[in-house]
Amino acid sequence: MREKMGSREERDQVAAKVRRLRAGERGAVSDQEPFYTINRDKEKYLEKLLGYVAFLDYVKTLSSTVVLDVGAGTTRAISEIAKSKAGAGLDFKATVLNRNPAIEENLGFENVHVTSVETLRGIADQSIGGIIAVFSLPYVVSPALAVTSIDRVLVPGGVIKAWLPSEDSTDRKRVEKGTTYRSYKEFETEFKKLGYDCEYLERDGLELEVFLAIKPGGKLGGPSARELVSMDVQTRFDAKMNT
């Protein structure tokens, strides 16, 4: 049995976070606009992930073709991707921290879980082929708990692609924001403990920073994490025109 990850303090913080989310689920749909419900579009995802078409094509080869957007805000971006050529043949789901009314018009509440990435409550084990995380992972309470949950829901060979800051920009943002702000290294360390193939690409300190990790146990002959990142980077401008 896998040892439970995360410190006692981190687990307590996550438990408090989950209690707040459950209270929100029972209450009315919120009309507030916290930072995590900003209405981002698919072009912003394409920019922050340095492309996603090769990522989506890879998910289509897996035992689950479900793509989960973790921390999806209003779900506008993932809804637009679902309707695009690149999203054909895939099933899209999302997690949010706030039941924003715009979700119903975008991905629909039936495709959305109100939960934190540290628990991914309500998402079945080994049910997800690919995870996108664009504006969520830097703010988690515990990278160790988040990685444990991500590993639980991904199928063998499953993949996560995320925007994550470098260690240098993490230090800067922590000072600016006065809050928790996680770097890619904290996640890479935890994924590698579980045998994931990881790749991180930073573009000249311009905050074009992307992290990709592939779960072990997939089909032989599939692309490596480095190859998958490279394919998306090479085709991202074509993707902007054709998705």
What is the average pLDDT across 47-72?
A: 96
For the chain, domain boundaries: 8-242
Rounded to whole angstroms, how far apart are CA atoms 216 and 113?
A: 26
The better pLDDT of the pair 108, 21 is held by: 108
Rounded to whole angstroms, how far apart are CA atoms 15 and 169?
A: 28
User: What is the reported pLDDT for 163?
Assistant: 92
Environment class of 98 (CB within 10 Å of its CB; exposed 0-12, middle 13-18, buried 19+): middle
pLDDT of 16 > 90? The answer is no
Q: How far is CA 14 from the centre of its chain?
A: 18
Environment class of 142 (CB within 10 Å of its CB; exposed 0-12, middle 13-18, buried 19+): buried
Rounded to whole angstroms, how far apart are CA atoms 162 and 135?
A: 8
User: What is the reported pLDDT for 169?
Assistant: 67
User: What is the reported pLDDT for 205?
Assistant: 53
The better pLDDT of the pair 26, 242 is held by: 242
Tell me the per-residue pLDDT of 104-129, one tens digit each, with 9 for 90 and over: 999 999 999 999 999 999 999 999 99
Range in 2-6, 45-49, 207-211 with the lowest mean pLDDT: 2-6
pLDDT of 140 > 60? The answer is yes
Residue type, 136: S
Phi, psi of 169 (to 5 degrees): -70, -25
Output the pTM of the full model: 0.83
The mean pLDDT of the chain is 84
139 falls in which pLDDT band (50, 70, 90)?
Answer: confident
Q: Looking at domain 8-242, what is its CATH homologous superfamily?
A: Vaccinia Virus protein VP39 (3.40.50.150)
The better pLDDT of the pair 46, 24 is held by: 46
Residues of the chain above pLDDT 90, percent: 60
202 falls in which pLDDT band (50, 70, 90)?
Answer: confident
User: What is the reported pLDDT for 181?
Assistant: 79
Cβ contacts of 24 within 8 Å, gap of 6 or more: 30, 97, 98, 99, 114
Phi, psi of 74 (to 5 degrees): -85, 0
What is the average pLDDT across 54-68?
A: 98
pLDDT of 79 > 80? The answer is yes
Q: Enter the tokens of residue 87.
A: 């999203």
User: What is the reported pLDDT for 1?
Assistant: 39
User: What is the reported pLDDT for 190?
Assistant: 97
What is the average pLDDT across 159-172?
A: 81
Decide: 27 and 204 in contact? Cβ < 8 Å: no
165 falls in which pLDDT band (50, 70, 90)?
Answer: confident
Best CA proximity match to 152, nearest among 121, 186, 197: 121
User: What is the reported pLDDT for 10?
Assistant: 64
Q: Enter the tokens of residue 28.
A: 């009315």
